[in-house]
Every structure is written in structure tokens, then in C-alpha cells.
Amino acid sequence: METTEAEAMLRGQADIWKYMFGFADSMALKCAVELRIADIIHSHAPTDHMITLSQIASHLIAPSPDITCLTRIMRLLVRRNIFAVHHPSEGGEPVYGLTYSSRWLLHDSEMSLAPMIVMENHPSLMAPWHYFSQCVKEEGPWAFKKAHGLEIWDFASENPGFNKLFNDGMACTARIVMKAILTEYGHGFDGVGSLVDVGGGTGSAVADIVQAYPNIKGFNFDLPHVVATAPAYHGVSHVGGDMFEDHIPNADAVFMKWIMHDWNDSDCIKIMKNCRKAIPERGGKIMIVDIVLEPSGDGVLDDTRLVLDLVMIAHASGGKERTENEWEKILKEGGFPRYKIIKIPALLSIIEAYPV
């Protein structure tokens, strides 16, 4: 019994050490992205798709790279299965290759998370995490404003470099989610003649949908200064306005991707009520693409979804990720008594909700 308790205490100690230095994984990953290590392996490895550290170093944009430092960082990333390593039996220099994980680090790949890694680990976005205890002790403002004195959107508007970093991060995740939607949810657009993307930014999401389903007339609805810079897309009309006001364009269906998590419950209910007025009572629906938390879930992305709820504390102003019960509550209060959740191979799910 004493041995079992001692083993459990050792395991507990090991867990605390692991979580204490959890940031090291993020920083090593960011380092690999900044040095474009995955890109170097992908572009310069021979037919066996593996390359030595000396060869990697020779392609770094650096006058005198420190191979020893690179070796130590790669050792951890191999341990985390980000990269693979092979030690030749004849004792030659180890060679490194890509894994399924490091393929997501390729900058030129359509399905890349590299911009998101750089964004989330930027000092301006890391600083708010140090204010969590203050967020618990005192109500408002939220962590980002505590750290910077501004909400994230105002901060971005005053810092063009950060704004580009943020937009690039959002764009890469949008491409991943849209591919999953168009691949796994095609039936959801059957019978839809018109679709309005509420909070659609510059319109790329609704443009992708219209391109895949040319029979759909698309509307991209966002704030006037946002749609003013939106490019022209065939089959898409840009409409400026405020989703909190009562003039969302009428359509058969409303599409909202990663919008509702930015707002508190009362704001979400207000948005839903305005969406409800924009669609027909019979046959109309809203498609909410957002995270559905499963706190006890054992799915491959369930842990990350819980972490993203903490990201909302760090970076948003009142927003949060929600469980199904929390979604059901605001859907009913917003005028949508029926709904179903459709899972797709992504962090987000699709919540289809109907006014009757």
C-alpha cells in the first residue's frame, strides 16, 4: 500500500513538472516554424525524405547556426512526435524526417497551422495569460485589456504588424474548417437558394460555399468598414451592417462560423433573434459553426477544445466556448427550439437550428 501511494505521489509530481514547463513545447514548436525546419526537410530531403541536422542548418537563413542548440530542440520535438529521427546502424549522422504532425507546419501548404502557432505564441497574446488570477479575483475587464489597456480589436487596429499576424492566423484555421465543412457537410446546403454569412469578414467562406454550390445566392454581411475592403466574388454580394441591429439580409439560411463564441449569452441571444427575422419560418435554418465542449469526452480534439475556452478568457471580452446544454439554452431563448449537432473532422461542429 505504501509503495502504491509513493508511486502515485511520484506520478503526481511528474505531472506537475510536465505542466509547469508546458510552455517549452509551444516555444520549441514556434522555433521550428520560425526556422522553417519542416519546409527545409520537405524541400531538400532526398528520395528517402530524411535529412541530417547539418543539412538542415545549411539551409537556415543564419550566418553561423548553432548545431548543438538545434540538436537539443529537435530532440524534444522528436520526443513529442513532431519530427521523426533515424539513427543509421553504421553509426553515421542521424537523419530527420516529417511526421503527420509536422506536415501541418509547412508554410506553403493549403492546410497549414504555422501562422496560428506564430500568432498564439506572440508575446502580446501570451501576456494576458498572466492575468488569470486577477480575472478570478475581480470582475472585468478581461485578461487582454488588463494586460494591454485595450480590447484585442482596438489593439490590432493600432498595431498593423500584430493585425497582420492575427489575420494570417485566423485565415489558416478558416481554410482548415471550410475544407472540413465542404467535404463532410455537403448535404447541409441542399435546397438552400440563398445564404447569408453573418460576420463573414471579407467573404472568403461564403465564396467557397457558392463556388461549390453555384445555385446558392450568397450574401456576406459584416461591419461596413470590413466589407469595404472585401474583394469581389462571383455570386456573392457584400452587405455592410451590424448583426446586433435588425437588418440582416433575408435568406433561406444563415451561416455563422466561429462568431458566437466571441459573445456572452445575452449578446448571442440578441444575434439569434435578428437571424431568426432574416429567414423563413418554414424551411429556414441557421448553421452555427462553433465548438461544442464535451468536458468528459475522450475524442482526439476534446482537450484542445477545453483549452480554447481558456483562450477566450485570455483574448476575448466575455466570449466563451459552450457545452451542448449551454447551446440549447441560448438557442431556445433566441427563437430556435429545434437543433441538431453535426460533427466534422475539425475542432468545430455544425449546429443546425430551426425556428419551428
As a whole number of angstroms, the distance between CA 318 and CA 308 comes to 14
Q: Are 156 and 163 in contact (CB under 8 A)?
A: yes
Whether 121 and 64 map to the same domain: the answer is no
Given a cut of 60, is residue 1 above it in pLDDT?
no
What's the rounded mean pLDDT across residues 157-174?
90
Quote the number of domains for the chain. Answer: 2
Whether 285 and 168 map to the same domain: the answer is yes
As a whole number of angstroms, the distance between CA 326 and CA 260 comes to 12
Q: Return mean pLDDT, the chain.
A: 94
CATH for 207: 3.40.50.150
Last residue of a domain, one of 44, 73, 104: 104
Given a cut of 90, is residue 182 above it in pLDDT?
yes
Supply the pLDDT for residue 249: 96
Supply the pLDDT for residue 48: 76
261 an active-site residue?
yes
What's the rounded mean pLDDT across residues 254-260?
96
pLDDT digits (tens, 9 = 90+) for 110-133: 999 999 999 999 999 999 999 999
Last residue of a domain, one of 45, 73, 104: 104
Whether 146 and 203 map to the same domain: the answer is yes
CATH for 19: 1.10.10.10
Q: Among 53-57, 73-77, 223-227, name the one with the lowest average pLDDT.
A: 223-227
As a whole number of angstroms, the distance between CA 348 and CA 31 comes to 27
Whether 281 and 343 map to the same domain: the answer is yes
Supply the pLDDT for residue 331: 98
Given a cut of 90, is residue 239 above it in pLDDT?
yes
pLDDT band at 104 (very low <50, low <70, confident <90, very high): very high
Whether 69 and 160 map to the same domain: the answer is no
Whether 80 and 211 map to the same domain: the answer is no
Supply the pLDDT for residue 159: 92
Given a cut of 80, is residue 4 above it in pLDDT?
yes
Grid cell in block for residue 319 = 466570449
As a whole number of angstroms, the distance between CA 231 and CA 186 comes to 25
Given a cut of 60, is residue 300 above it in pLDDT?
yes
pLDDT band at 272 (very low <50, low <70, confident <90, very high): very high
What's the rounded mean pLDDT across residues 239-245?
93
Whether 93 and 118 map to the same domain: the answer is no
As a whole number of angstroms, the distance between CA 39 and CA 100 comes to 14
| Beta-strand relationship, 349-354 and 285-290 | antiparallel
Which of the residues 59, 187, 225, 261 is marked catalytic?
261
Whether 139 and 62 map to the same domain: the answer is no
Whether 271 and 335 map to the same domain: the answer is yes
Which is more confident, 74 or 171?
74
297: left (phi > 0), else alpha (psi -120 to 50), else beta? beta
CA dihedral of 240, 245, 249, 255, whole degrees rounded to 10:
90
Whether 120 and 100 map to the same domain: the answer is no
Supply the pLDDT for residue 49: 85
What's the rounded mean pLDDT across residues 134-151?
93
Given a cut of 70, is residue 2 above it in pLDDT?
no
Domain that holds residue 16: 1-104
For the chain, percent of residues with pLDDT exceeding 90: 85
Q: Are 157 and 184 in contact (CB under 8 A)?
A: no
What's the rounded mean pLDDT across residues 92-100?
94
Whether 91 and 148 map to the same domain: the answer is no
pLDDT band at 176 (very low <50, low <70, confident <90, very high): very high
Last residue of a domain, one of 56, 85, 104: 104
Q: Are 71 and 96 in contact (CB under 8 A)?
A: no
Supply the pLDDT for residue 94: 94
Lay out the sheet containing 194-198: strands in order across: 236-240, 217-222, 194-198, 253-257, 285-290, 349-354, 338-343
Supply the pLDDT for residue 89: 81
